[in-house]
Amino acid sequence: MILENSRYQLGGVDLLEVANEFGTPVYVYDADTIADKYQQINTAFSAVKLRIKFACKALSNLSVLRYMKSLGAGLDVVSIQEAMLGVKAGFEPKEIFFSPNGVSFDEICQGVGLGLAINIDNISILEQFGHKYGNTVPCSIRLNPHIVAGGNAHIQTGHIDSKFGISIYQMRHLTRVVASDNIKVVGLHLHTGSDILDASVFTKGADILFEAAKNFKDLEFVDFGSGFKVPYKEDDAVTDMAELGKELTPRFKTFCKSYGRELELWFEPGKYIVSEAGVFLVRTNVVKQTMATVFVGVESGQNHLTRPMYYNAYHEIVNISNPEGTKRVYTVVGYICETDTFGWDRKLNEVREGDILAFKNAGAYGFTMSNNYNSRLRPAEVFIYKGKAHLIRKHEPFDDLLRNQVEIKL
């Protein structure tokens, strides 16, 4: 999002015009930013056989998924429903990496039936998988490396108390299960969480994966998950993708040489690719001054953007209606009957009732985590492609709240 001639633009499109044309609240995504972030990873790892599996849970709109496929991405999904969306968007089932957690074995079987690449993260399911499929259906295994990645504790998934993955300390048990049913393991996977700055987290994970790989003779890939950090504030630290490539590439090549053949290196980024590509536009309903605080109440809340309340996540907020206004301090809150504060004590250009505010870094885990609390309706989505704004999801109609309700006679 840039300011030109006192108007904020995204992808060359005036955001106030987007708000006026499509209505608010509305999520807006820029295709060029997505392509740029995707290419940064490709460039950093150009010396290896790289596969990027976009994490569908970050942004699952069909139009965005189709665009991801056009860039050359595969898909990482965590539910059978996300997998079905991927197929609907045009992905071949073999391009879809099915990596669920805590699901029933029936859902795993559905994934096999669709022809997905199956990733298993607990021994119970692995045993059932082996009993049913033996070596006729390959799979990969998610390991828990017991690495504390740092950053926000709410989004770390590789520590000892995490529900994700099979502990590396269960390797002896794991290999016995694999051997007992002759399970064909073609991949090893780990994901330590989000907002990882230090390349050493990935290199530590690499050392663990490479050591574990000695126990499996049929590997075709190793998957390092993602967790790359994006900037939320001006001058915020970010993952240096080029540096990560320099650190990890030679280690991976050395491993492949010792393993005896060249494997594929996989990542499954979500936030890194789409977060900075998105903004969320909302209209100001009320400016309310109390004895201690000036509140800006907007036509949204945790029902549309839950990350600030759920993860204590920071989103920069900009008044795009009054870019030249005097800076004042506000607390921006939602219209939900809960404490749904988007930001305390934010310095914004003077906000007036009716002004449009833009929440930056809203491309990931925004609409996909939205809900209907207070019977509020979900917002629209717009995709900016080749300098033109396209509606890719309509504002949710009230009838959708009633669609699956069954009335009884009382």
Catalytic residues: 337
Q: Can you give the chain as a three-state secondary structure string?
A: CEEECCEEEECCEEHHHHHHHHCCCEEEEEHHHHHHHHHHHHHHCCCCCEEEEEEHHHCCCHHHHHHHHHHCCEEEECCHHHHHHHHHCCCCHHHEEECCCCCCHHHHHHHHHHCCEEEECCHHHHHHHHHHHCCCCCEEEEEECCCCCCCCHHHECCCCCCCCCEEHHHHHHHHHHHHHCCCCEEEEECCCECCECCHHHHHHHHHHHHHHHCCCCCCCEEECCCCECCCCCCCCCCCCHHHHHHHHHHHHHHHHHHHCCCCEEEECCCHHHHHHHEEEEEEEEEEEECCCCEEEEECCCCCCCCHHHHHCCCCCEEECCCCCCCEEEEEEECCCCCCCEEEEEEEEECCCCCCEEEECCCCCCCHHHCCCHHHCCCCEEEEEECCEEEEEECCCCCHHHHCCCCCCCC
φ and ψ at 296, to 5 degrees?
Answer: -105, 110
Amino acid identity, position 374: N
The C-alpha atoms of residue 164 and residue 157 are separated, in whole angstroms, by: 6
